[in-house]
């Protein structure tokens, strides 16, 4: 079935380090891809998305490119901040009969130290 | 900024008891969802709800589960007879539209942590 596999955490970085969180997917058809972020004590928030191959989603300095040939959607940021400490979830959407459900990866916890 | 709210933030119950988890979706949204995350595992889809009926459900969503929109603002998940394996974080979400629309972003609440003893 359709699934998302993302890099296991936790990931610990120093401020201003480069971040990559790997995400690959298995899907029938062409899903839309998402990164959600969960800050401590809060709900899941959409960070960025891409709806077709070669699209690049970007927000708050984060980027991810929809790569159909490698079925990947890796999250990157050039210089992380302490405030980026959170859990990051890669997800895809399946569209079935007008309803949509998100299929998530396990989440990767990122801690950024000053 | 409008947000999805959930109550309670943490619910502790005994095995076999009924629990009701409550959600207030964003007021003009039409599609509602429940997801859950067992500790250390993936966030999993449970059910979607539109126009006062279930539009899709997963195999997890068996007869012990039910959803309801009892009034114009609340959206509830009921577990009739809780089991130990129901212990998880339950997330409610809502979206303005569904079905492939570009306005289909799902907005999530902060979650309710359910602990079954």
Say what percent of chain A tops pLDDT 90: 71
* Mean model confidence pLDDT for chain A: 91
pLDDT at B36: 96
Sheet architecture: strand order including A75-77: A19-21, A75-77, A62-65, A56-59
Residues 48-107 in A contacting B (C-alpha not used; CB under 8 Å): 49, 89, 91, 93, 95-107
String of DSSP letters for B69-112: --SSS-EEEEESS--GGG-EEEEEEEES--TT-TT-PPEE---E
**CA–centroid distance for A34 within its chain:** 6
Contact (CB<8Å) B108/A103: no
Q: Is residue A44 less than 8 Å (CB to CB) from chain B?
A: yes
Residue A13 confidence (pLDDT): 97
DSSP 8-state assignment for residue B62: -
pLDDT, tens digit, for every residue of A46-72?
A: 999 998 899 999 999 999 999 999 999
- Nearest CB neighbour to A46, from listed B35, B50, B105: B105
Report the gap between the CA of A38 and the closest CA in chain B (Å): 9
> Which residue bears the tokens 């949509």?
A100
Beta bridge partners of A108: A88
Q: Do A43 and B111 touch (CB under 8 A)?
A: yes
Rounded Cα distance between A37 and B3, Å, is: 15
pLDDT digits (tens, 9 = 90+) for A1-21: 789 999 888 999 999 999 999
Residue of B82, B80, B112 whose CA lies nearest to B9: B112
- Which of A31, A94, A98, A105 to probe the B interface (max B CBs under 10 A)? A98
Q: Are A80 and A19 in contact (CB under 8 A)?
A: yes
| A92/B100: higher pLDDT | A92
Q: Which helix (H) or strand (E) holds B37?
A: strand B31-37
| Residues A28, A71 contacting (CB under 8 angstroms) | no
> By C-alpha distance, which of A11, A3, A28, A30 is closest to A77?
A11
Q: Which of A25-39, B28-42, B92-106 has the lowest mean pLDDT?
A: B92-106
Peptide bond into A10 cis (omega under 30): yes
From chain B residues 36-65, the ones with a CB under 8 A of any chain A CB are 40-45, 48, 50, 55-56, 58
Q: What is the mean predicted confidence (pLDDT) over B20-45?
A: 92
Q: Does B109 touch chain A (CB under 8 A)?
A: yes
Residue B42 has pLDDT above 70, yes or no: yes
pLDDT, position B99: 60
Mean pLDDT of B22-42: 92
Task: Give yes or no for residue A43 having a pLDDT over 90.
Answer: no
- The SS3 assignment for A83 reads helix
Helix (H) or strand (E) holding A24: strand A23-26
Pairwise CB contact (< 8 Å): A101 & B48: yes
Of A76, A102, A28, the residue nearest B108 (C-alpha): A102
**Cβ contact, residue pair A99, B48, below 8 Å:** yes
């Amino acid at each position: 079935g359709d699934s998302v596999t993302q890099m296991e955490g936790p990931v610990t970085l120093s401020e201003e380090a480069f971040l990559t969180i790997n995400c690959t997917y298995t899907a029938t058809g062409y899903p839309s891809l998402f990164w959600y972020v969960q800050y401590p004590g809060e709900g899941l928030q959409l960070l960025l998305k891409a709806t077709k191959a070669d699209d690049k989603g970007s927000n708050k300095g984060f980027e991810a490119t929809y790569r159909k040939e490698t079925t990947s959607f890796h999250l990157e940021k050039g210089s992380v901040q302490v405030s980026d400490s959170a859990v990051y979830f890669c997800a895809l959407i399946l569209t079935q009969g007008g309803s949509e459900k998100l299929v998530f990866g396990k989440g990767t916890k990122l801690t950024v130290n000053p | 900024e409008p947000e999805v709210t959930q109550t309670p933030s943490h619910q502790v119950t005994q095995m076999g008891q009924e629990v009701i988890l409550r959600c207030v979706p964003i007021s003009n949204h039409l599609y509602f969802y429940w997801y859950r995350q067992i500790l250390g595992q993936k966030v999993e889809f449970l059910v979607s709800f539109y126009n006062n009926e279930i539009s899709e459900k997963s195999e997890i969503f068996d007869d012990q589960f039910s959803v309801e929109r009892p009034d114009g603002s609340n959206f509830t998940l009921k577990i009739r007879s809780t089991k130990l394996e129901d212990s998880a974080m339950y997330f409610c979400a809502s979206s303005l539209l569904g079905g492939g629309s570009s306005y289909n972003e799902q907005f999530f609440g902060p979650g309710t942590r359910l602990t079954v003893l």
